[in-house]
Structure 1
Amino acid sequence: MSEPDLQSVGTTPSRADVQRWRRYLADERAEAAVYRNLSARRTGEEREILAGLAEAEGRHEQHWRDLLGDEVGRPLAGSLRTRVLAALAKRFGSVFVLALMQRAEDRSPYADDADATATMAADERIHGEVVRGLANRGRMRLSGTFRAAVFGANDGLVSNLALIIGISASGADRHFVLLSGIAGLLAGALSMGAGEYVSVRSQRELLEASAPHPEAQHAVADLDVDANELALVYRARGMSEVEAAAHAAEVIAALSAAPPSGSVPVVRSRSALPRPSVPDDAADHEAIGTGTSAALSSFCFFASGAVIPVLPYLFGLEGWPAIGVAAALVGLALLGTGAVVGVLSGASPLRRALRQLGIGFGAAVVTYLLGLLFGTSTA
Structure 2
Amino acid sequence: MTTHATSPTPADIKRWRRYLADERAEAAVYRDLAGRREGEEREILLELAEAERRHEQHWLELLGDDVGRPLRGDLRTRLLGWLARRFGSVFVLALAQRAEARSPYAGDADATPRMAADEQVHEEVVRALAARGRQRLSGTFRAAVFGANDGLVSNLALVLGVSASGVPTHVVLLTGISGLLAGALSMGAGEYVSVRSQRELLEASSPNPATNSALPDLDVDANELTLVYRARGMAPEEAADHAREVLSSLEAYTSDFPAVRPAPDGEDEHEAIGNGWSAAVSSFCFFASGALIPILPFLFGLTGTAAVVVSALLVGIVLLGTGAVVGLLSGASPLKRAVRQLLIGYGAAAATYLLGLLFGATVG
Give 1:125 deviation, angstroms: 2.0
Comparing 290-299 with 349-358, which one deviates more in the overlay? 290-299
Match of 1:249 among 241, 245, 249: 241
Give 1:107 deviation, angstroms: 2.1
Is 2:285 aligned against 1:300?
A: yes
- Structure 1 residue runs of 5 or longer lacking an equivalent are none
Match of 2:335 in 1: 350
Match of 2:118 in 1: 123
Q: RMSD of the alignment, in Å?
A: 3.0
Match of 2:159 in 1: 164
Cα contact 1:30–1:86 (8 A) shared by 2: yes
Match of 1:143 in 2: 138
Give 1:213 deviation, angstroms: 3.8
Matched positions, count: 363
Give 1:66 deviation, angstroms: 2.1
C-alpha distance after superposition, 1:147-202 (max 9, x if no partner): 11111111111111111111111110011111111111111111112212222333
SS at match of 2:26: helix
Match of 1:334 in 2: 319
Match of 1:81 in 2: 76
CA gap 1:254/1:237 in 2 versus in 1, 3 angstroms: closer
Match of 1:368 among 319, 332, 353: 353
SS at match of 2:294: coil
- CA distance in structure 1 between the aligned counterparts of 2:222 and 2:161, rounded to whole angstroms: 70
Alignment of 1:314-333 (within 5 A): 314-333=299-318
CA gap 1:318/1:58 in 2 versus in 1, 3 angstroms: same
- CA distance in structure 2 between the aligned counterparts of 1:204 and 1:352, rounded to whole angstroms: 34
- CA distance in structure 1 between the aligned counterparts of 2:360 and 2:280, rounded to whole angstroms: 36
Match of 2:276 in 1: 291
- CA distance in structure 2 between the aligned counterparts of 1:264 and 1:245, rounded to whole angstroms: 21
Give 1:214 deviation, angstroms: 3.6
Q: How many percent of aligned residue pairs carry the same amino acid?
A: 70
Comparing 64-73 with 342-351, which one deviates more in the overlay? 64-73
Match of 1:190 in 2: 185
- CA distance in structure 2 between the aligned counterparts of 1:251 and 1:24, rounded to whole angstroms: 63
Comparing 58-67 with 88-97, which one deviates more in the overlay? 58-67
- Structure 2 residue runs of 5 or longer lacking an equivalent are none
Letter in 2 for 1:264: A
Alignment of 1:81-120 (within 5 A): 81-120=76-115
- CA distance in structure 2 between the aligned counterparts of 1:275 and 1:346, rounded to whole angstroms: 34
Letter in 1 for 2:155: N
SS at match of 1:52: helix
Give 1:254 deviation, angstroms: 8.0
Cα contact 1:6–1:12 (8 A) shared by 2: no
Match of 1:5 in 2: 2
Give 1:318 deviation, angstroms: 1.6
- CA distance in structure 1 between the aligned counterparts of 2:159 and 2:231, rounded to whole angstroms: 54
Letter in 1 for 2:41: E
- CA distance in structure 2 between the aligned counterparts of 1:283 and 1:24, rounded to whole angstroms: 48
Give 1:321 deviation, angstroms: 1.3
CA gap 1:225/1:126 in 2 versus in 1, 3 angstroms: farther
C-alpha distance after superposition, 1:72-109 (max 9, x if no partner): 22221111111111121112111111111111122222
CA gap 1:234/1:255 in 2 versus in 1, 3 angstroms: closer
C-alpha distance after superposition, 1:242-275 (max 9, x if no partner): xx6347636755875x6xxx622599xxx77776
Cα contact 2:223–2:243 (8 A) shared by 1: no
Cα contact 1:145–1:289 (8 A) shared by 2: no
SS at match of 2:40: helix
- CA distance in structure 1 between the aligned counterparts of 2:228 and 2:272, rounded to whole angstroms: 27
